[in-house]
Amino acid sequence: MIQQIFNWRILLALIAIGIVTSTIFYSRYVARKIAREERNRVASFGESLKMKATSNDPEIIAFTSQIAVDNDDIPIIETDERNNPTGLYTNLDSNLVIKDTSYLRKMVEKFANSNPPVQVEITKQPLSFNKYFYGPSRLQTEVRYYPIIQLVIVGLFILITLLALRSSYRSVQNQVWAGMAKETAHQLGTPVSSLRGWVEMLKQTENNKLVSELEKDVGRLELVSDRFGKIGSKPQLEKREIIGQVTTMVDYMKKRAPGKVNFNITHGNEKEIYASISPPLFDWVIENLLKNSLDAMEGTGSIKINIDNLDDKVQIDLADTGKGIPLTMQRKVFKPGYTTKKRGWGLGLSLSKRIIEQYHKGQIFVKSSEPGKGTTFRIVLRK
């Protein structure tokens, strides 16, 4: 139970959340530490200007000047008690200051929203002081944006990892499908060949009618073997007449369907409609859809197949009057293992999707379905 809940995807997400959360907290800690240091530097900057203005000692003047020079990243604006800029500033664009007379006042308002100003007392009697408004340094800005950048990097890493794992899973799944199909075709090949030989011998000695029926079943086994053989390798597509191809499969299923099921094929005014298909695999898809429809109707109802010849594609709608598929389950019907049958493996529609989309480069999906009224599957083939 614990393994089902805490699978690798959840673990990966928790690790990513832990990394980002810890980084955000640490970045905020570092940003606050830098902010305190910068405030102390701004206070030192103001005090140095005060000392420089009130002292005649060359060493003190040189020392205070060096403090001002060392500040090459914190933007500072000096104002009077009423927040009017005195004209002294550092680490701001001089060209903007010259072009826009209100630029310093705008920056004072902007800095006031991010940091309270540092006040430096100039005289005690009468009391007067200057204010120093300052903004964040480049380092502080980078620290603030670092968690966002890391979040994007971690997100991309998780996305790439998931895509790689998904691609790897699909590759393994395809190899399993192909291996299973080839092995099935191989296992069927030997007994089918033997049966074909026996049929030829029986033709010379036994009742022709009995042999004819046996020959049909052997032919069916050969068709099944051929289908699995083509699943294991890329089939060659052929230009085939679709109406006749579908009609042949419908006739085949009619003989095995209950007498209370009605079949109807429509194709407008078209007499012939062509598309590129692999006949054995395409027949397999139609057979799977017809079998599902028959199972859904439980022996009573109707199946209607409509074939449309469009400009660049052929569209086949297969509708039944069965029990339908709930909306929440319509996306799952093509997944391997999904089935509503007691003895089903849930591979028919999954194989059909693989045949149409991977081998024929077409589409197959549930066009519409309503519980109690029926389901319509749509196949789209390229011309």
228-254: pLDDT as tens digits? 766 666 778 999 999 999 999 999 888
In a domain, 127, yes or no: yes
Better-predicted residue by pLDDT, 23 or 237? 237
- pLDDT 10s digits, 169-207: 666 666 666 656 665 665 566 566 667 776 777 777 766
Range list of β-strands (E), the chain: 76-79, 85-90, 118-123, 128-134, 238-241, 261-266, 274-277, 301-309, 313-320, 363-370, 374-382
Tokens of 322: 């069965």
The count of structural domains within the chain is 3
Count of C-beta atoms within a 10 Å radius of residue 1: 5
In a domain, 226, yes or no: no
Quick one: pLDDT band at residue 90, thresholds 50, 70, 90?
confident
Q: Which of 115, 136, 157 is the last residue of a domain?
A: 136
In a domain, 203, yes or no: yes
- Identify any residues that bridge with 378 across adjacent strands, giving them in sequence order: 317, 365
Phi, psi (deg, nearest 5) at residue 330: -65, -30
pLDDT at 191: 63
- Once rounded to an integer, what is the mean pLDDT over residues 70-80? 83
Q: Could you tell me if 206 and 262 lie in one domain?
A: no
Which region, left, alpha or beta, applies to residue 15 given φ > 0 means left and ψ of -120 to 50 means alpha? alpha
Dihedral sign of CA atoms 21, 27, 30, 32 in order: negative
**Taking the model in full, what pTM does it have?**
0.52
Q: Could you tell me if 85 and 63 lie in one domain?
A: yes
Q: Could you tell me if 70 and 146 lie in one domain?
A: no
Range list of β-strands (E), 135-237: none
Burial of 299 (0-12, 13-18, 19+ CB in 10 A): exposed
pLDDT at 265: 95
Tokens of 377: 């599957």
pLDDT at 120: 84
Q: Could you tell me if 11 and 126 lie in one domain?
A: yes
Q: Could you tell me if 281 and 352 lie in one domain?
A: yes
Please give the residue range of the domain that contains residue 20: 2-136
Instruction: Please check whether residue 293 is in contact with residue 305, taking contact to mean a CB–CB distance below 8 angstroms.
Output: no
Q: Which of 152, 186, 216 is the last residue of a domain?
A: 216
Distance CA 326, CA 357 (A): 24
Instruction: Please check whether residue 258 is in contact with residue 362, taking contact to mean a CB–CB distance below 8 angstroms.
Output: no
Better-predicted residue by pLDDT, 202 or 378? 378
* CATH code of residue 266: 3.30.565.10
Q: How many CA atoms lie within 13 A of 314 on its CB side?
A: 25
Instruction: Please check whether residue 107 is in contact with residue 56, taking contact to mean a CB–CB distance below 8 angstroms.
Output: no
Dihedral angle, C-alpha 205, 210, 212, 216, nearest 10 °: -130
pLDDT at 5: 44
